[in-house]
A and B are shown apart, each in its own frame.
Chain A
Amino acid sequence: MSTQAHLIEKVPGVMTLTGLLDHETTVALRQEGQRYIQQSSADVIVIDCAGVERSNSAGLSLLLSFQRDVLQAGKKLEIWNLPADMKQIASVSGLLDILPLSH
């Protein structure tokens, strides 16, 4: 039942996350994001979630995974435009103080 989800580099250092984030779509995105973060020369990695149509907890785990990658690479992460449904899950799960949310 999963539709598509994508992770695209818009400008250097800024990845846009789009589509439906669920238990299936996030598996491939996890690896794509890891490769991107490892190869990027930017000091600050931005993940823009404005294009996320719907997400369950797997989408939050995806962001946490990227956060671990960024920390390991000695860079800084910023998460932009976290949609309301992801924010609700983050709130119930106590992630609002852990994820570096801005905008």
Chain B
Amino acid sequence: MNTDSEYAVELKGITFKRGERTIYENVDIRIPRGKVTGIMGPSGSGKTTLLRLIAAQLRPEKGEVWVNNLNLPTLSRSDLFNVRKQMGVLFQSGALFTDLDVFENVAFPLRVHTKLPEEMIRDIVLMKLQAVGLRGAIELMPDELSGGMKRRVALARAIALDPQILMYDEPFVGQDPIAMGVLVRLIRLLNNALGLTSIVVSHDLAETASIADYLYIVGDTQVLGQGTPAELKESSDPRVLQFIKGTPDGPVPFHFAAPSYSEDLLGRR
């Protein structure tokens, strides 16, 4: 797999619709290799959709999705399977298997994707759990874990196959401040120490800006702004400022596009 390019992921001219609703219109996004890139935007702005396009779980209506110099929409099923092994995803819900203990949750991708003997699977599971500080929880069931611990187990599972690209979908949602701090540190540590490319989708500005090398702000079917966290804070673009300052109405309207309210309530006259 070619990994020479400066960008691990490039979206070119992406248009994506859900039914009649346009989520993205001719959008370009480039994710620099080896860095932490934050994708920010209001809830419902299509951030998770973006991750699913990169993971080839969704196909764009138009445009190209390049991952490690392969255009995903053109790949065969088996080639896609191989590319996906290079990507780890930490889902918003954690999505642990509730009937498997912590060990088996982390071992799962190794059992599905490799023919490693049991002793080596055990080594790798222990290594990944040690990295997230939860080796001691190996025999626990998911319902015995706190929310923060669940997310760290899910992170151990996401890195079980040593992906080159690690995607985080709203990693900070519902976490207490200590768990949040632990996650922020882990995302940065794994990125730097393992040479990963990290993509953090989030609407938590402070946490994401604190770890991201580069930020995109998406909304209203477009990339509203991009740059380093410092550059975006200095932005004069009212759409970027609205998000950064958290004002409810502005260039990005508070109201989802809707027919006339009076017509809705009173009928067309």
- The yes or no answer to B123 lying at the interface (CB within 8 A) is yes
B130 touches A30 (CB 8 A): no
Contacts A23-B161, A30-B117, A94-B130; A61 near B124 (Cβ below 8 A): yes
Q: Which of A1, A61, A85 has the most CB of B within 10 A?
A: A61
- The yes or no answer to B1 lying at the interface (CB within 8 A) is yes
Collect the chain A residues with CB atoms within 8 Å of residue B116's CB. 23, 26-27, 58, 61
- The yes or no answer to B99 lying at the interface (CB within 8 A) is no
- The yes or no answer to B189 lying at the interface (CB within 8 A) is yes
Collect the chain A residues with CB atoms within 8 Å of residue B128's CB. 57, 93
Indicate the size class of the contact surface on chain A: 20 to 34
Please tell me the number of chain B residues within 8 Å of chain A, measured between CB atoms: 23
B114 touches A62 (CB 8 A): no
The B interface, classified by DSSP as helix, strand, loop or mixed, is: helix
- Chain B residue nearest to A89 (CB atoms) is B194
- The yes or no answer to A7 lying at the interface (CB within 8 A) is no
Q: Which residue from B82, B110, B127, B195 sits with its C-beta under 8 Å from A88?
A: B195
A91 touches B193 (CB 8 A): yes
B124 touches A1 (CB 8 A): no
- The yes or no answer to A101 lying at the interface (CB within 8 A) is no
Collect the chain B residues with CB atoms within 8 Å of residue A62's CB. 120
Once bound together, how far apart are the Cα atoms of A68 and B122, in whole Å?
A: 13
List A residues 17-63 near B (Cβ within 8 Å). 23-24, 26-27, 30, 56-58, 60-62
Collect the chain B residues with CB atoms within 8 Å of residue A95's CB. 127
Once bound together, how far apart are the Cα atoms of A61 and B130, in whole Å?
A: 14
